[in-house]
Amino acid sequence: MKKRFNPIKDKSSEIIEFLMSSPDIPDDDALQFKLRLSIEEAVENVVRYAYDGGIGWLEAGTSLDHDSLILTIELRDAGVPFNPLEREDPDITLSAEDREVGGLGIFLCKQLMDNIEYRYENGNNVLTMTKKV
């Protein structure tokens, strides 16, 4: 299941709901909570930072490998090239006041998902998150 949103300005909720309504998402409340948090963080990053003013597109999709029970969530955009996985994980032992701003969302995604990969291909950022369901 895949859909392109254009423009993405003010469409975070719509994109998140599209992904969460996918028939690939299992009917498991605890798993859905983890997936929603990861999806929200990833989508918000694209909507806020990929394009100047949110004028651009985002292609969002899910797929489920029924043999391995691996759910894949993919986000693709043509915004500014940015690999969120290159950022160093925040030191969560520090208080909020002592930590640098930013980076907590991707850190959370890395904790909740089984695997996250980034690639830049054909002028597009591609973020792929997978979870055994």
- The answer to whether 58 touches 72, Cβ cutoff 8 Å, is no
Ranges of the chain whose pLDDT falls below 70: 89-104
- What's the pLDDT score for residue 97? 61
- What's the pLDDT score for residue 76? 98
- What's the pLDDT score for residue 100? 62
115: CATH: 3.30.565.10
Omega prior to 26 cis, within 30 of 0: no
- The answer to whether 60 touches 18, Cβ cutoff 8 Å, is yes
Overall domain count for the chain: 1
- What's the pLDDT score for residue 87? 73
- What's the pLDDT score for residue 46? 94
| Residue-number span of the structural domain to which 80 is assigned | 2-132
Give me the residues paired with residue 13 across strands.
none
- The answer to whether 124 touches 77, Cβ cutoff 8 Å, is yes
